[in-house]
């Protein structure tokens, strides 16, 4: 890995103010975080934390047990993706709250989108104060508000 860039740090221990060492090694395929005095059984240069992209989604991989070769945690950051989502807050009385999923349809010709996870039917750009949210079942039942 010749494309490595290393950043050596002194981090203040938040419990007692003691300065501790850490280093971040950056490669074209990922980022390793190393804490001297802590190690793993893997061949990943004793990085306890590794960050990489998988199909456009950042993942944080953590080795939290020295005696365990496989990571103890593999965390997808997909849920933090920016972009349009199913609305999760009601903005007016009787408003329907959605689930926050990014698994939504493209806007239809009137600008409405459908959440594939919870079924809320909402106008795109839901962050605007005046956007109304109606549930698909209400529309189908003719109960539009």
Considering only 47, 115, 133, 134, the residue that binds Zn ion (CB under 5 A) is 115
Q: Which of residues 84-103 bind Zn ion (CB under 5 A)?
A: 86, 98-99, 101
Query: Measured in whole angstroms, how far is the alpha carbon of residue 140 from the centre of its chain?
Result: 34
**Which lies closer to Zn ion via its Cβ, residue 52 or residue 97?**
97
Closest separation between CB of residue 65 and Zn ion, Å?
Answer: 36
Considering only 26, 31, 62, 118, the residue that binds Zn ion (CB under 5 A) is 118
Closest separation between CB of residue 80 and Zn ion, Å?
Answer: 16
CA dist., res. 100 & res. 42, Å (int): 37
**Which lies closer to Zn ion via its Cβ, residue 50 or residue 126?**
126
Q: What does 86-129 look like in DSSP terms, one character per residue?
A: ---S--STTPPP----S-BPPP-TTSEEEBTTT-EEEESSTTST
CA dist., res. 105 & res. 116, Å (int): 7
Count residues contacting Zn ion (CB under 5 A)? Answer: 8
**Which lies closer to Zn ion via its Cβ, residue 61 or residue 120?**
120
Three-state SS string over 51-68 comes to EEEECCEEEEEECCCCCC
Closest separation between CB of residue 103 and Zn ion, Å?
Answer: 8
Closest CA to 121 of 129, 113, 132, 111: 113
Given the rule CB under 5 A, which residues bind Zn ion? 86, 98-99, 101, 115, 117-118, 120
């Amino acid at each position: 890995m010749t494309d490595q860039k290393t950043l050596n740090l002194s981090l203040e221990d938040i419990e007692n103010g003691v300065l501790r060492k850490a280093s971040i090694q950056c490669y074209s395929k990922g980022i390793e975080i190393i804490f001297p005095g802590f190690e793993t059984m893997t061949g990943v240069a004793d990085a306890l934390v590794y960050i990489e992209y998988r199909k456009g989604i950042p993942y944080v991989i953590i080795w939290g047990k020295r005696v365990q070769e496989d990571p103890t945690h593999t965390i997808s950051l997909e849920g933090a993706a920016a972009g349009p989502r199913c609305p999760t807050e009601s903005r007016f009385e009787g408003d329907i709250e959605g689930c926050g999923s990014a698994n939504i349809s493209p806007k239809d010709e009137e600008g409405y989108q459908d959440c594939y996870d919870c079924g809320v039917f909402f106008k795109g750009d839901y962050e605007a104060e005046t956007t109304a949210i109606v549930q698909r079942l209400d529309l189908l039942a003719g109960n539009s508000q």
